[in-house]
């Protein structure tokens, strides 16, 4: 007999893990595209037209696939989590509807102008269309995170009984839509998206720079890839430290509002002081994988750092342990290891940015083969960090669907059978695997084809300045 609750949770986790790749790509690319468009119009240099057109292709593909996979998530609230939708639909449905009407429509409408309007509208309108597209992607995040942050730290509502059912009524829209969690989630998510895309761009560019400068292969448009590498690395240098600094403030907020989740993130079972923060941790036994604790770990730990994070600067602060909290624990091992991966990757991104910055300053950026290999190996790790971050956020909230109000098991559709849930889970697993494969194939094809050159460039006036385009 299949548990419909478990199957529904696995299905939502699967579809979310796949879906989140595409909005992260869109949100992260948006500021790059606005910048490339501005520089293209302002300077008329072919290099910026190449950058704009090349990365816009990947943005457009990500937008289309993200739209398809995002719609499925909203349907799942009705098919698999109907009890939750019935209880909280009045409050929860508002942000989701606004996201579709405001953000998605803005993004979709102006994306048409941006993709096909370069020869049909003036420079000002064209630039504004790029801003509108970017604004649409970020507004989508605003409304989705308003909904999610309310589930993490619910405010501005009351629960009443209607026809024998508990129903959430909105009493204070401002309190409900702008909870204390929202700002932390939005800043952390948007910076993570830009950082992830910058790492991806740097990794792809490093591949071609490596082949040309280290291996000696003749690579078309190598100057384009050099420019991409410098721009992407510059963004990594800025955003990687910001992510860790903001993560510090975010962790403190989690400790104050969801102490159980924080204790799971650090595997603090007993209330204690001077709790260390493991930057890198390895289990000393198989049992420690499933029930991690400080005495069963080896790695790199900063003494008192977890206490410092929780208290906002006091390394001797006492952290309440899971055993002292009279409530059901989340799956500690999943939360702890996902948080460890996120933390380790965050510090690696800072180190990588510092390394690249030093090489750049010394004029060795294009010849450092080890750095190129590190960038290539890191190109997708930003997305991995986002995935494990969401696992910490969502699994750490368990067993609650609405924290302190509705448990996940009570939010699943009452009439849903285990067989039905398993059938749709397998169907989505197959469909999403196919969709992700097609996405990877298309993006890889765009990358291997490279940027437009010669006569394809608008700013070369029919190719007369093709050499300029290559030399910019």
- What are 326-337's pLDDT values in tens digits? 888 999 999 999
Q: What is the mean pLDDT of residues 300-306?
A: 88
Q: Which of 146, 148, 168 is nearest to 98 (CA)?
A: 146
Predicted local confidence at residue 471, as pLDDT? 44
Q: Which tens digit of pLDDT belongs to each residue from 9-20?
A: 999 999 999 999
Query: What is the largest distance, in Å, between two alpha-carbon atoms of the chain?
Result: 76
Q: Does residue 468 register a pLDDT over 60?
A: no
Q: Which tens digit of pLDDT belongs to each residue from 96-139?
A: 888 888 888 888 889 889 998 888 889 999 999 999 999 999 99
Q: Does residue 187 register a pLDDT over 70?
A: yes
pLDDT tier for residue 457 given thresholds of 50, 70 and 90: confident
| Residue 20 main-chain phi, psi, to 5 deg | -65, -20
Q: Which tens digit of pLDDT belongs to each residue from 389-419?
A: 999 999 999 999 999 999 999 999 988 898 9
Q: Does residue 342 register a pLDDT over 70?
A: yes
Predicted local confidence at residue 462, as pLDDT? 45
Predicted local confidence at residue 89, as pLDDT? 87
Confirm if 206 and 227 have CB atoms less than 8 A apart: no
| Residue 256 main-chain phi, psi, to 5 deg | -75, -30
Q: Does residue 86 register a pLDDT over 60?
A: yes
Q: Is 407 left (phi over 0), alpha (psi -120 to 50) or beta?
A: beta
- Separation of alpha carbons 266 and 279, rounded Å: 11
Please give the structure tokens belonging to residue 217.
């292969």
| Residue 277 main-chain phi, psi, to 5 deg | -110, 115
To the nearest whole percent, how much of the chain has pLDDT over 70?
Answer: 97
- Separation of alpha carbons 66 and 23, rounded Å: 6
Q: What is the mean pLDDT of residues 157-179?
A: 91
- Separation of alpha carbons 278 and 165, rounded Å: 45
Q: What is the DSSP string of 290-303?
A: HS--GGGEEEEEET
HEC letters along 314-348: CCCCEECCHHHCCCCCCCHHHHHHHHHHHHHHHHH
Q: What is the mean pLDDT of residues 49-71?
A: 93
Predicted local confidence at residue 335, as pLDDT? 96
Tracing tokens 């009407």 back to the chain, one arrives at 101
Please give the structure tokens belonging to residue 369.
């083969």
Predicted local confidence at residue 102, as pLDDT? 83
pLDDT tier for residue 360 given thresholds of 50, 70 and 90: very high
Q: What is the mean pLDDT of residues 131-150?
A: 94
Q: Which of 49, 41, 31 is nearest to 198 (CA)?
A: 31
- Separation of alpha carbons 28 and 382, rounded Å: 11
Pick the more confident residue, 194 or 113: 194
- Separation of alpha carbons 294 and 315, rounded Å: 16
**What's the mean per-residue pLDDT of the chain?**
91
Predicted local confidence at residue 459, as pLDDT? 60
**Cβ-based neighbours of 107, under 8 Å, separated by 6 or more:** 63, 132, 133, 135, 136, 137, 139, 140
Q: Which of 387, 385, 384, 297 is nearest to 333 (CA)?
A: 297
Predicted local confidence at residue 467, as pLDDT? 43
């Amino acid at each position: 007999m299949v548990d419909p609750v478990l199957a529904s949770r696995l299905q939502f986790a699967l579809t979310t893990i796949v879906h989140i790749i595409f909005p992260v790509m869109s949100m992260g690319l948006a500021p790059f595209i606005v910048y490339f468009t501005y520089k293209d119009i302002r300077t008329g240099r072919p290099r910026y037209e190449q950058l704009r057109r090349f990365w816009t292709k990947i943005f457009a593909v990500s937008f289309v696939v993200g739209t398809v996979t995002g719609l499925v998530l909203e349907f799942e609230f009705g098919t698999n989590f109907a009890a939750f939708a019935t209880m909280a639909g009045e409050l929860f449905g508002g942000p989701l509807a606004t996201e579709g009407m405001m953000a998605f429509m803005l993004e979709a409408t102006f994306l048409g102008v941006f993709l096909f309007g370069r020869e049909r509208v003036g420079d000002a309108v064209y630039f504004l269309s790029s801003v509108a597209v970017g604004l649409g992607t970020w507004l989508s995040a605003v409304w989705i995170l308003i909904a999610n942050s309310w589930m993490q730290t619910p405010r501005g509502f009351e629960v009443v009984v209607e026809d024998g059912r508990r129903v959430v009524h909105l009493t204070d829209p401002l309190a409900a839509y702008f909870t204390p969690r929202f700002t932390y989630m939005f800043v952390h998510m948007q910076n993570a998206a830009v950082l992830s895309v910058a790492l991806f761009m740097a990794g792809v560019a490093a591949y071609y720079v490596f082949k040309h400068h280290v291996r000696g292969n003749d690579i078309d448009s190598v100057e384009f890839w050099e420019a991409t590498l410098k721009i992407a690395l510059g963004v990594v240098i800025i955003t990687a430290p910001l992510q860790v600094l903001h993560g510090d403030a975010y962790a403190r907020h989690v400790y104050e509002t969801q102490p159980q989740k924080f204790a799971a993130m650090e595997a603090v079972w007993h209330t204690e002081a001077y709790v260390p923060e493991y930057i890198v941790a390895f289990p000393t036994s198989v049992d420690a994988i499933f029930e991690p604790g400080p005495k069963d770990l080896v790695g790199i730990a900063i003494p008192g750092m977890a206490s410092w994070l929780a208290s906002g600067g006091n390394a001797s602060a006492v952290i309440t342990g899971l055993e002292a909290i009279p409530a059901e624990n989340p799956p500690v091992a999943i939360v702890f290891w996902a948080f460890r991966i996120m933390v380790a990757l965050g510090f690696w991104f800072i180190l990588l940015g510092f390394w690249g910055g030093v090489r750049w300053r010394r004029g060795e950026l294009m010849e450092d083969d080890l750095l190129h290999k590190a960038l290539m190996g890191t190109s997708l790790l930003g997305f991995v960090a986002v995935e494990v971050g969401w696992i910490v956020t969502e699994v750490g909230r368990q067993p609650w669907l609405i924290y302190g109000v509705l448990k996940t098991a009570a939010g699943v559709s009452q009439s849903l059978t285990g067989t039905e849930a398993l059938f749709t889970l397998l169907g989505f697993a197959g469909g999403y695997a196919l969709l992700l494969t097609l996405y990877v194939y298309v993006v890889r094809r765009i990358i291997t084809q490279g940027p437009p050159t010669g006569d394809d460039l608008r700013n070369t006036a029919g190719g007369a300045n093709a050499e300029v385009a290559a030399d910019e």
